[in-house]
Every structure is written in structure tokens, then in C-alpha cells.
Chain A
């Protein structure tokens, strides 16, 4: 507690090596690269366990419980299995594109973590445009997905990839607008500065922004109820239908790494990042990430899936206008009344959120229905 307060008050960055160490920059780089890759891989295994056991509990079944204590090693067993599996490439596939796609999809997701602070200053690169970098990089994974869908030369995977591109392009707008609200309040684009500015978590200042970001984030990373890019009831597996072995595992990894990335960004932007009492900061960060991820699992166990036209309608007719209004309101608040008491702003913002959502749901209808053919 005291240490955290000291670090926070003095704005001390976490130094891995002394700044005067020869080649200190490169040590820092190497250390965080290793940490990040290890973090992502281990967290993926962790969240797969959380998801499968959590879903199992919610669906009145057990979930994996045979491998290791409480089934903890199931992810390891699965990893070994996919490593040993045969790699099958369809005859008519575009071999190069098919081969490259998993890599193109995986690398950007890994790169997102470069600017996510695990504790104060503990991040690979404290870019002063951190969140802008995240927004820019995260959409690149879509290219990999589309390459997979196109390169497999399978109609199912092509349909899935087209859906993914459409969804990501549409949901980028509300996502970025929701982020802008946070940026206005924090007054900085750097992820670390945003966390440091959150004496009160921004989920209270920006409740509408949080909901929009969560929904749009779920749509970007194909989480239910927006998981129609790999809708197993319709498209069997969507874009990765023709992948097997390690390449399939890469997509599986991307899927969960993306989920962790979105959870990490939500944690950083809205939930106060690594800040919290008693526990060490990095543990707070991981706990919050897992809580956010658990909400995603919960959603997945609860809701049916929307249709593609409903997905687009939701982005453009519901989330986009609300995000614009949210940005507008936040801008006015920051400009006109910068030193208002926090609790007044919180009450006002929650009221605005309730009124807006109620109003919009009144005259917003999902879907267009049948086309005459």
C-alpha cells in the first residue's frame, strides 16, 4: 500500500535495470519482450481454463476436469495435441496466403501489449500516443483473418472473413469515439498517464463510453453475441475452417489473446489499470483482466447471436450516435466545468447514460427483415 502510494505520488516509473546500465535500453526491450510473450501465452491458457470451466458451470455441466488437478492442465494437453497434428492445406488454397495468415493475425495482437502498463511504468514502450497506437494496430489482425478466409478458397471461410471485415470496419468508429471520451477526461494519450489520472476509475465518469467500448470491443474480437465470423451453427468454423494443427492453434491463440488485449485495454482505460489497494499492482491488473474476461464468458453463455444486418445496424444506428453524443457531452464537461466535484459529474453522466439508452432503444429496431427475391 505504502509502496504503491509512494510510486503513484512520485510518478516513479518501474525500472527493471538502472538507467545508467550500459545498453540499458536494450535490456529493457529484451526483458519486456520475453515477459510479454510469456504473459500472453500463460494468460491465454488461464483464460481458456476460465472460459471452459465457467461455461461448464453456467451450462450445468462439468467442463474439463480430468487433466491435472481440477483440469488445470487441459490447455497444455490441447496445445500438445495441436502441435502433433497433421497440417493439412487444401489443394486449391493460395498456399502463401494460407501460410502467412496466422502470423499476420497473431503479431498485431502481441504488439498491443507493448503499451499496456502492468504497473506504473512497467511497459515495453510508454508511447505518448499509446491508445492511438492500440487502435491502429488492433485492426491489422483483420487482414490476417481475411487472408485466412480468402486463402483457404472455401466459401464458408470466405463468408466468415467478409463478415469479420464488415464488422471490424463498422465497430472501429464507436470504439475510437468511446476511447476519445476517456482521453478527454485524462488529458493524455499515453496509457500510463491515463492510469495515473484515474483516482476514480473512469467507468464511473464514462459509463456510457464503457458500455459502448465493451460492446464494440466484443464485436471486434468476435466474442458472443457478435461472434458471427465463426458462427459454428451457420459457417461451421468461419475463416479458420480449413486450418489444422499448429496453424489452427495460432488462430485459437489469436482469439483469446485478442480477448485478453481488449480486457487489458478496458482495464487500463476504465477500471483504473493496475491501481488498487493491498495487492501488488501487477496482480491487480491480472485480476481485473480476468474479471472483464469473465463478463465476456458470461455474455457468451447467455445470449443468442445477432444476424449480420442486425450487427451492422447496431454499430451504425445505435452505438455510433451514442458514442458521438457521449464525446460531445464529455467535451462540454471538460471544457466548461473542469473542476466540478467528481460525484456530481458521476451522477450526471449516469443519468445521461440511462436517458440516452432508453430513448435510443425506443426508436431503434434491430434488423431489416426479408428481401424480396
Chain B
């Protein structure tokens, strides 16, 4: 035995369960982590604690009766879920949506992106150990957006606002002035937040170069949304495959360079700014008119299948519907953003410390409601 071997401390890996009940797993997610002291050798994700069989439930409900259930998928951003599902049904049944409704949908979807990124950034910073301050600040801003949603649909969490062929009701008169005020305040808030956090030495040390997701891995795993764009993959469905009326708006797609936690975080902040740009344009151009196409309560799409995907705040959210010309879908499959983005977690955390595991996990921004469906 050489001296170095004698000097080296013999260590033994051990298994530690993170979750299903753990403050930082954003719900009931479980990671079986194999640790060597503080270093993570391997993790094994365990999902399914929140499985509610939502895809199967779709077969038991009418097309419009399934919309409230989509709220429960990614409960952080229900508007986007509504939108994706309605687009799929409209594609299947060939329904044309009125102009005003399209604008309202875009405004709601972008507001939802703002609200979602508020939570994403807040909880990510919370995961890096900032004791709830950014979290509370972000929630304060989200609250204002929630108030807007409350104004249009009377709900604060599960909006159920979109309908097949439009939206459930027109906005009240006081909505647009309130929106304008919030959009202005929001951009100020984002600048302030940026200023407070961009140069924070500890935050930089904790996030720069940590949890790098290489570009190739991101593409191979099918990662989408801010996580992919943080790795420099220029893939945003609003540009790549424009749906609704996104081709009419001017906005940029922020891209990261290295694909570390810091880049993902930056991409989200920039996306919030771009969302504000889209909202401002939509706010000015919004035409008058009906907000809902003349669609019967029981939609009976012709037999066939359709897949519609949107750029949800967390990434590509897809709905695949098969119709047998009855009032309920024959089969509904959801392409969950969070679950697919989670697949790269193992590659990202290997070799990092326990604290990084939580930070990297937080930087992916998942919702368990969507992972398990």
C-alpha cells in the first residue's frame, strides 16, 4: 500500500431519500440520491405520487368538460394549459376563433408566463438559500397578475377561462387600464430585481457554471422551454411553429450560452421582459368584436386526430386528441413539459454537492401536477 493510499480516507456511499415530502421538491417528487459525503454520485428519480389519471378522465368527459381539468395539470400556469387544449380541439373540429378572442388569449397566456416566471425565479432563489425574501417579492408581483385574472374570470388559481372557439367572457371595462398600470410597474420591478441579484457574489458563486446542460444533451432529451434556451437551443414554438396570432408580434428569444443555472435564470428574466413587450403590442391592437365563435355546447369533431402544441411558460406543452365523432375524446395524451425537462436532471447533478442538487432542481422549474398528471 502506497502512502497516498494510506492517507486517503476510506469512504462509503450511502443512500438518502429526498422527498416525497421535502421542502424543496416542489410537491411530491422523490429522488433517491447516492451520496459520498456531500458529493452526489447518482440520483434515481421516483415519480407518480400525484397521479390522478387526468388523461383517462378526459375520455369520460365532453370536450368542453375537460377544460377545468387542464387547470389542474400545471396549476402554476392554468391559462396556458387551457389554451393548448382548446387549440387542439379547434384543430380537430376546424373551428375558427374570433379576432378579439385571439388577442385576449395571447394577453392571458403572456400574463400567465409572467406569473409563472415570478414563481420560478422566486422559488429558485429560495432553493439557493435566500431566506424567502425573493420568494415573497416575486409573489407580491404575481398577486397583481392574479388580480387581473380574477377580474376576467372570477378565479385566482384554476381559471377555466378559455373555451373551445374563444374565451368564456369578454374583459370588463376596467381591465385594460389596470393591465396598463401593471405592465408598467412590472418592468420597473424586473429592473429592480435584476439590479439586486445580478451582481450578488454569493448567487453568482452558487449558480455560475453549476448544473451545466450541454446543448446536445438538451436536444437529445427533448428539453424545451427556458431550460433548453438557457443551453442555447433556439427553440421557441411562438417563432418556430407560430400558433394563435403570435406571428403578428415583435419579440426576441433570449438565449443562454453555457446552460448553467445562472443562464436558465437569466433567460427567464429576459423572457419576462419579452412577454411585457408582447402584452403591450396586443393591448394596443386589440379589436372589438365577439369573443367566442358559435360553437355548440357538445362539440362533435369529425373522426380523426390532432396534435396542438404551445410554448407554455415551462416549455413545449402538447395535447394529442383522437376523436371517434362522439362528444368525448377517444384518447387524450398530454405532452407534459415538466416531466420531459426532468429527464436531464440526473446528468446535470452528478458530481455536484447536495446544495447544488436543490439549486439545479429548482432551476428546471417543474410542477408536480404536470409531471404525474
Contact = CB atoms under 8 A, between A and B. Distances in A.
Interface of A: 55, 58-61, 155-156, 159, 162-163, 224-225, 227-228, 231-236, 300-310, 366-367, 369-373
Interface residues of B, number: 41
B354 A306 contact: no
Contact of B137 (A59, A156, A225, A370): A59
Given A224-B131, A372-B351, A233 B202 contact: no
- Give the top 8 A-B pairs by smallest Cβ distance, nearest first: A305-B129, A366-B205, A59-B136, A304-B130, A304-B128, A370-B351, A233-B24, A304-B129
Contacts of A309: 38, 353
Contacts of B130: 302-305
A363 to B, nearest CB: 15
Given A155-B16, A233-B23, A373-B351, A61 B136 contact: yes
A369 B353 CA distance: 9
Contacts of B209: 369
Contacts of A236: 22-23
22 contacts: A55-B131, A55-B132, A59-B133, A224-B129, A228-B355, A232-B23, A233-B23, A233-B128, A234-B24, A234-B354, A234-B358, A302-B130, A304-B125, A308-B38, A308-B355, A310-B206, A370-B351, A370-B352, A371-B39, A371-B351, A373-B36, A373-B40
A303 B200 contact: yes
Interface in B108-143: 125-133, 136-137, 140
Nearest to B140: A60
B353 A304 contact: no
A373 B350 contact: yes
B203 interface: yes
B326 to A, nearest CB: 48
Given A234-B24, A306-B202, A372-B351, A301 B39 contact: no
A58 B132 CA distance: 10
B136 A60 contact: yes
B311 interface: no
Nearest to A302: B133
Given A231-B355, A309-B353, A304 B132 contact: no
B41 interface: yes
B193 interface: no
A306 B38 CA distance: 14
B305 interface: no
Contacts of B40: 373
A233 B14 CA distance: 20
Contact of A305 (B128, B140, B210): B128
Contact of B358 (A163, A224, A233, A303): A233
Nearest to B37: A162
A225 B355 contact: no
Nearest to A59: B136
Residue of A159, A228, A234, A372 most packed against chain B (CB within 10 A): A234
Contacts of B99: none
A307 B203 CA distance: 11
B267 to A, nearest CB: 19
B74 interface: no
Contacts of B37: 162
Contact of B203 (A55, A60, A304, A371): A304
